[in-house]
Amino acid sequence: MADPAGGPLAWAERDGLVGHARPRCDRIQLRGLRFVGTHGALPSEETLAQPFEVDLDVFADLSAAGESDDLAKSVDYGGLCEAVREVVEGPHVALLERLAERVAAALISTGGPLVSGVEVAVRKLRPPVPFQLSSAAVRVYRSGLPPVRAFVALGSNLGDRWEHLRRGVSLVPDVVAVSAVYETAPVGGPEGQGPYLNMVAELRTRRSPGELLAAAQGAEARAGRQRAERWGPRTLDVDLLLYGEEKISTPDLEVPHPRMWGRGFVLAPLADLAPDLVEKMLRPGILDGVRIVGTLASGGLLARAAGNHEGARSRATGRAAKS
């Protein structure tokens, strides 16, 4: 299917995920697994055996097992229980968060390719605190799917623009690369705004689009962003541009970003990281007024990005001459 927004990717429809929603799929539920382990942050807990209780939700497509009545086409929950036992009865960890993380990883490994995600609740049944507390627990969700290549745009034209970008990148999860930083005049909005600094970060993530949206909004809030008027000046703007090859449309989130293919201040930094995605969208003039002003990374990246930027301009001009 062609991208209706004119982009170069082939999109697969995605059931919208908002906030921390879980995949809509089958699941195996296991409740009240109890094992004894030596886990806790206190020195005495390194050797003190105490009971832990674990609840599991294992997300998987169970349709083939339901149709065939064949265990080989499902996930053996006996194997899942054994995987949990090995972790809880295994080497000491200080935090319940770490224990839950190790249980989730063991379940994904044991469950194999059928498992698309797991939700794990780990409870310490005798927490060593001076209160009437029946248990202390941590619940985590982890995806079993391969990481998705995603891109996030960041921009700022208020206050210390460089610091807002640095802080924003630090608050976006799973960043593996950043573009150079570009300065451009504001597009739309009220008169008298200052110029923007813009960049793009590349992610390798197993988080849902909704979770990335929440992280983006959290980063904006930490920067003190005020949403007083449409396209008004802002300390930090963080937008999810692309999430793999998926198309997402919910009341809270639209991906790919609906205006990205017509914005030079998005295409220029995106071309630093994914020139194959941007190549067909370049046209004469689209990069006018977009200039490199620095980088949050090494000087080598800035030189390479400058070369990419000039190459992109040349290719856009050459394409126009041939048409």
| 73 in active site | no
Q: Which of 128, 105, 129, 132 is nearest to 118 (CA)?
A: 105
Q: Which two tokens stand for residue 180?
A: 């150079």
Q: Cis (ω within 30 of 0) for the bond into 127?
A: no
Catalytic residue among 73, 124, 280, 322: 124
Helix extents (H) in 175-224 = 209-222
Q: Which two tokens stand for residue 137?
A: 């627990």
Helix (H, G, I), strand (E, B) or coil at 82: helix
Handedness of CA 203, 209, 214, 217 (dihedral sign): positive
Do 93 and 102 form a contact (C-beta atoms < 8 A)? Answer: yes
Work out the angle at residue 260's Cα, subtended by the Cα atoms of residues 259 and 263, and round it to the nearest 5 degrees: 95
Q: Which of 231, 56, 13, 46 is nearest to 142 (CA)?
A: 56
Q: Which of 303, 297, 301, 302 is nearest to 169 (CA)?
A: 297
Residue type (1 letter), 258: P
The strand pairing partners of 123, in sequence order, are 53, 137
Q: Which two tokens stand for residue 261?
A: 């293919």
Q: Which residues are catalytic?
A: 124
